[in-house]
Amino acid sequence: MKLGLVGLGKMGGNMRQRIRDAGIDVVGYDRNAEISDSDSLADMVAQLGEGPRVVWLMLPVQFVKQTLDELKDLLGEGDIVVDGGNSKWINDKNNAAYLSDAGIGYLDVGVSGGVWGRQNGYALMVGGSDPDVATVMPVFEALKPEGDYGFVHAGGVGAGHFAKMVHNGIEYGMMQSLAEGWELLMAADEVTDVPAVFASWQEGSVVKSWLLDLCVLAMKDDPKLDKIRGFAEDSGEGRWTVEAGVDLAVPTPAITAALYARFSSRQEDPPAMKLVSAMRNQFGGHAVVEDKPAVVDESDVDESTAQSSDAS
């Protein structure tokens, strides 16, 4: 079979190579002509030949709808579109209905594996009909890790992206726990080798995980993570997980806290903490750190108590 793959970034490019390594012909399209196998979506579809044709999208969510609009005119009865990006699951049923008017099938696939997927395989969470899944199964087999795990047909349309959304929400909570534990260990005088502590957990520990392995890897070249700024974006799926929890009345306190921690990371001087500090000062007389020192007459204060104007 031949596969059309749209979007050849960090994930898509590696997926193209892994699929090719499995003996499947892949025609890739990307707006970056240097990495693209085709000049346009129309050229890519033409290279796929006779149907059933399968086109897999690895695109940011904001580009999915316009790409589906183009593909609807290029594909036909029996063809299948796979959305493998981090799309919001509530869009999947609308996308499937939109393409079904032209007899085009639709699968939503949550893909996990990051930049290591080409080597280790990708965890795939699939939503859609049994016949469409069966058609695309050779590609799923090429992408998934060897063995019994790493692939699930989670349910009908929308199930794949919903499962991936929850997967990423869990990831938020796990990452935040590891990060808080690392900070606590770094602050303790008793612990002299934090990287070694993390490394010791890689075997025999209940917190053994791939995320832990990645922490150890990150600390090998930068033991105190001095080269990294404490800033973390969120892809959107953490927010969607929290929203789904609210809609379904399912409490997600750990995931929600992890999401808000990422928001805090973007603030050099979190405004809310100003009021917390002010309240602590008011009720307990706790000292506050002034943002901008007051102007004082240096002749009225001892040099040892004067605040430096260079403080930031």
Enumerate residue ranges in the chain where pLDDT < 50: 293-312
Question: What pLDDT does residue 223 have?
Answer: 92
Q: Of 155, 175, 209, which residue constitutes the final position of a domain? A: 155
* CATH code, domain carrying 121: 3.40.50.720
Question: What pLDDT does residue 280 have?
Answer: 76
Structural domain includes residue 39: yes
User: Structural domain tally of the chain?
Assistant: 2
- Angstrom distance (rounded) from CA 202 to CA 271: 38
- Is 43 in the same domain as 102? yes
Of 171, 208, 268, 292, which residue is the catalytic one?
171
- Is 138 in the same domain as 169? no
Exposed, middle or buried, 231 (CB in 10 Å: 0-12/13-18/19+)?
A: exposed
Q: Of 131, 155, 179, which residue constitutes the final position of a domain? A: 155
Q: Note the pTM of the prediction, 2 decimals.
A: 0.84
- As a whole number, the mean pLDDT across the chain is 89
Instruction: Report the half-sphere exposure of 69 (CA within 13 A, side-chain side).
Output: 5
Helical axes 253-265 vs 159-187, angle rounded to 10°:
70
* CATH code, domain carrying 207: 1.10.1040.10
How far CA 81 is from CA of 37, 40, 78, in Å, comes to 19, 17, 10
- Is 168 in the same domain as 46? no
Based on the residue annotation, tell me whether 144 is a catalytic residue of this protein: no
Question: What pLDDT does residue 272 have?
Answer: 66
Q: Of 155, 179, 197, which residue constitutes the final position of a domain? A: 155
Question: What pLDDT does residue 273 have?
Answer: 67
Q: Coil, helix or strand for 58? A: coil
Based on the residue annotation, tell me whether 292 is a catalytic residue of this protein: no
Question: What pLDDT does residue 73 have?
Answer: 97
Question: What pLDDT does residue 309 have?
Answer: 29
- Is 220 in the same domain as 140? no
For 141, the domain range is 2-155
Of 164, 220, 227, 233, which residue is the catalytic one?
164
- Is 114 in the same domain as 173? no
Strand 105-112 to strand 123-127: parallel, antiparallel, or no bridges (unpaired)?
antiparallel
- Residue 265: which region, alpha, beta or left (left: phi > 0; alpha: psi -120 to 50)? alpha
Q: What is the DSSP-derived secondary structure letter of residue 7?
A: -
Structural domain includes residue 12: yes
Question: What pLDDT does residue 298 have?
Answer: 37
- Is 93 in the same domain as 173? no
Structural domain includes residue 296: no
Structural domain includes residue 271: no
Question: What pLDDT does residue 235 have?
Answer: 73
Structural domain includes residue 51: yes
Q: What is the DSSP-derived secondary structure letter of residue 29?
A: E
pLDDT tens-digit map of 31-40:
999 999 999 9
φ, ψ of residue 134 in degrees (nearest 5) = -65, -40
